[in-house]
Amino acid sequence: MATCMKMRGAAGQLHRNWASLMKLKCPGNSSSGISRTLWTDTPAPSRLQPPRFSSSSSLSSAMTAGCRLTVRPHRWMRVGAVLHGRTELLSANSPPYWVQDRMYGNRAGGAGFSGDGGDSTGSGGEESGGEGGVPYNAPQMTALTPMMVPEVFPNVPLIAVSRNPVFPRFIKIIEVKNKELMELLRRKVRLAQPYAGVFLKKDDSDESDVVESLDSIYSTGTFVQIHEMQDLGDKLRMIVMGHRRIRITKQLEVEPEEVEAAPVLSESETESQPKTTPRRRSKQNRKDPADPADPAAPAAEQVQEKISEADLTPELQPLSSSDILMVEVDNIQHEQFTVTEEVKAGQRVVDNPIYLSDMGAALTGAESQELQDVLEETNIPKRLYKALSLLKKEYELSKLQQRLGREVEDKIKQTHRKYLLQEQLKIIKKELGLEKEDKEAIEEKFRERLKERTVPQHIMDVINEELNKLGLLDNHSSEFNVTRNYLDWLTSMPWGTYSEENLSLATAKDVLEEDHYGMDDVKKRILEFIAVSQLRGSTQGKILCFYGPPGVGKTSIARSIARALNRQYYRFSVGGMTDVAEIKGHRRTYVGAMPGKIIQCLKKTKTENPLVLIDEVDKMGRGYQGDPSSALLELLDPEQNANFLDHYLDVPVDLSKILFICTANVIDTIPEPLRDRMEMINVSGYVAQEKLAIAEQYLVPQLRSQCGLTEEKVSISPDALSLLIRQYCRESGVRNLQKQVEKVFRKVAFSIVSGEQTMVTVTPDNLQLYVGKPIFTVDRMYDVTPPGVVMGLAWTSMGGTTLFIETSLRRPSDPKGEGSLELTGQLGDVMKESAKIATTFARAFLMNQEPENNFLVNSHLHLHVPEGATPKDGPSAGCTIVTALLSLATTQPVRQNVAMTGEVSLTGKILPVGGIKEKTIAARRAGVTCIILPEENKKDFSDLPDYISEGLEVHFVKHYNQIYPIAFPQDQS
């Protein structure tokens, strides 16, 4: 078995470059002093640092505990016994004594292996059982008798440690902070019983010195001797040395107070009387008799006799706490093994397989469980294998750390060398005139940018001033970088640079018609803009705002306008923006400061007349950084943006040549001052005919090409598109229609690639196979409206829709009481007020029409506006509510296929409302043939295309008296 030889090689390789082990020599006669090696169980080279001792002694397993008994706070205390006949050593003020010429031999019983020159005294049962034992030699008596470590010591204080166990023959510094354990250890030291059991806790994160259950620690530990103890008041710092392995047998439920029984002695005897144990007496009985010629012999014999007669057995009392302080232990005997050439037993520690395994494990930084496994192993060859495995892991880790260290060092050297060469190269080029200094090159680059630009004089003065300051600054200062970045932005601006604008109306019209269908208002406004620029002979700026429902092409038309005008296009969104610095820029003093979006736009487009699209101006936020909508006031004001001042540039910039286009869904959330600075253009939704034309001319060809299909492989019939628009895509825009058409093409592409089909024609019959079940199966809630139900018209952000008003009798009328009205359907405050006004007017109107009808006065009515999950608000349903109440009161249904909208006043006047185009489109989609509108909205209706208003019977009214005969005709059955 070559385990021992491998262990020696691994240990030598691991610590070849470490400092040699510190040695302590016994004081006194140097010729007879025996040098001892100290081992500790701390990892890495720090393990070789010896603890601080007040006096030197042999630190083997038979080490004395020899003898400073003075106990002072923050001072080291030597622990041990006393000389025979020298009772004055027990005095509290006695000076320290030194042990001279100590000789130690092996124990007689089960001598075992001597790991350090035969020094195995006191190891007890730990190292017994080997072959080739040496007879026990009694220690030579000197001026101070050393304390012998007992072979059997069953009751010991329990010290719980974490992370690293204590191995036999290794020294460890332990700090104890538990008050009860500190008191117990002090008491044990005073009783000359400086022994304890050190056990490893199973939880490494537990920092306590004591445990409440034996399950929290491993049952195998180390019997240690306290060599020195420093009392720091709130904690004890001890130097302990392990002697043998022990195992806990049971817990002792006693021990806070020990009543020390001592014989009655004289005062001088009491001061010097040592406290010994019965085990100590048995050891002294085996010592050589005192020399008769020694005058102190009789006194020593008398002291020894009195000590032997005294009963020093401690009386144990129950503990008040649940912490375990004392345990009963047994010594662990290792298994027998045969000494061979591989498992060799020599006179050195490295030749002793028992201690060699402990040393190998203690020198590693292994996990606590692995170290505990080595400590618990009783089979010596297996213990050697485990220690060898840990050493190999440590050796591999050490090699890896050395390799990483060398790689890092080589990299640092390479970087340093490269830096030196680059600096030398710079100096050489500078001396040869091949390269200019950094500052000169930077200044030349900036001036080169300004050669072809017309820079205003006041800006040129700022640039020259900053260039002069840059020449005086150090290259590595922070101000140098700030100035350089500022000059970079100043010189990158397109001063006096404009793009050549297209002034041809025909070209612009062709481009706009090519990209978008309809949107006549927008196209006319752009053509007017081009006509004015052509007459003026120069480019100009303007501020337009397109508002309308989503998906109608507000953003995409801006890109087409830029292409029609031959201007550079730049877009940024202000939706959710809360920081003013996004528009006005940061101050240059801030870290990471940048100009605002407009300055970034000019730098990117390289012209002073781009088209800037500011998207979602109705969704700006407001935070602690300021209000961006207020910052836009200066940007979008034609009277101010000619001298726009950015916080970063801090010089006026002309923005008057920029064409600003803003987009919004609703204009109610746009601040009034900002809305006043923009020219508002409504981009309304599309009707079914317009959607069909857009799909056929734009969406289908584009999406077919994007999906990799051709007209030969797939085609969609107009009927299928109309059904798709009517039952799947009723919103005002065409974004959802685009998604549905793309969905059809994706499924067609899958069927073609999978080999199911080679050519597909989408018709109304197979449309459901590609887009699923229809979403809208009916165009209106009521095909025939009963009494109390009237169809109204409403505007939403998605376009127009029909809105039915339902009324019903809640409970029978009370002739003597007053009626009531309950409102449901998520109505807003404005609509609730409109319902109350309509109820009041309906009562008054019914009294004039039918004076004997008191239905609205005495009845308890319920008014509901479906659908209940959709919030509704606005005054435009006033005339519809009046008509529904009158229909319920007269039990007469209104005229079929009639829809109305308009706000009603308390006297019955019909006031104008908005969204006429969207409402008309919704009425036409629902199959309405008659529409009642306010008189003031006649101008809005006249602007509608013929394909929207064609075939509709429209009535414009000023008062409700005009609505009643239309809704309730006399010839209606």
Task: Yes or no: say if 222 and 168 are a contact pair by the CB < 8 Å rule.
Answer: yes
Unique residue bearing structure tokens 């390789």: 13
Q: Is 482 annotated as a binding residue?
A: no
Give backbone dihedrals phi and psi of 470, rounded to 5 degrees, phi first.
-65, -35
What is the SS3 string spanning 669-707?
CCCHHHHHCCEEEECCCCCHHHHHHHHHHHHHHHHHHHC
Q: Is 541 annotated as a binding residue?
A: no
Q: In whole angstroms, give the CA distance from residue 929 to residue 923.
A: 8
Secondary element (H or E) of residue 240:
strand 236-252
Other Cβ atoms closer than 10 A to 517: 16
Task: Yes or no: say if 172 and 179 are a contact pair by the CB < 8 Å rule.
Answer: no
Q: Is 132 annotated as a binding residue?
A: no
Q: Is 289 annotated as a binding residue?
A: no
R_g (Cα) of the chain, nearest Å: 51
Q: Is 550 annotated as a binding residue?
A: yes
Please name which of 79, 345, 329 lies closest in space to residue 194, comparing C-alpha atoms.
79
Q: Are strands 155-161 and 195-201 parallel, antiparallel or unpaired?
A: parallel
**Which residue among the candidates 120, 272, 732, 876 is catalytic per the annotation?**
876
- 128 annotated active-site: no
Q: What is the DSSP letter of 49?
A: P
Token pair for 2? 């070559």
Please name which of 119, 88, 83, 87 lies closest in space to residue 100, comparing C-alpha atoms.
83
Give backbone dihedrals phi and psi of 824, rounded to 5 degrees, phi first.
-140, 165
Secondary element (H or E) of residue 526:
helix 520-536
Q: Is 908 annotated as a binding residue?
A: no
Please name which of 47, 377, 325, 40 lies closest in space to residue 196, comparing C-alpha atoms.
325
Phi/psi zone of residue 517: left (φ > 0), alpha (ψ -120 to 50 degrees), beta?
Answer: beta
Q: Is 551 annotated as a binding residue?
A: yes
Q: In whole angstroms, give the CA distance from residue 22 to residue 348.
A: 16
Q: DSSP 3-state assignment of 787?
A: coil
How many CA within 13 A on the CB side of residue 548?
A: 24
**Which residue among the candidates 172, 523, 657, 919 is catalytic per the annotation?**
919
Other Cβ atoms closer than 10 A to 11: 21
Torsion from C-alpha of 24, 29, 34, 40, nearest 10 degrees:
-20
Task: Yes or no: say if 182 and 190 are a contact pair by the CB < 8 Å rule.
Answer: no
Q: Is 344 annotated as a binding residue?
A: no
- 876 annotated active-site: yes
Secondary element (H or E) of residue 34:
none
Token pair for 925? 């989609």
Length of the chain: 973
Opening angle at CA 534, ends 530 and 537, nearest 5:
130
* Binding-site residue set: 548-555
| Binding site per annotation, positions for ATP | 548-555
* Residues designated as active site: 876, 919
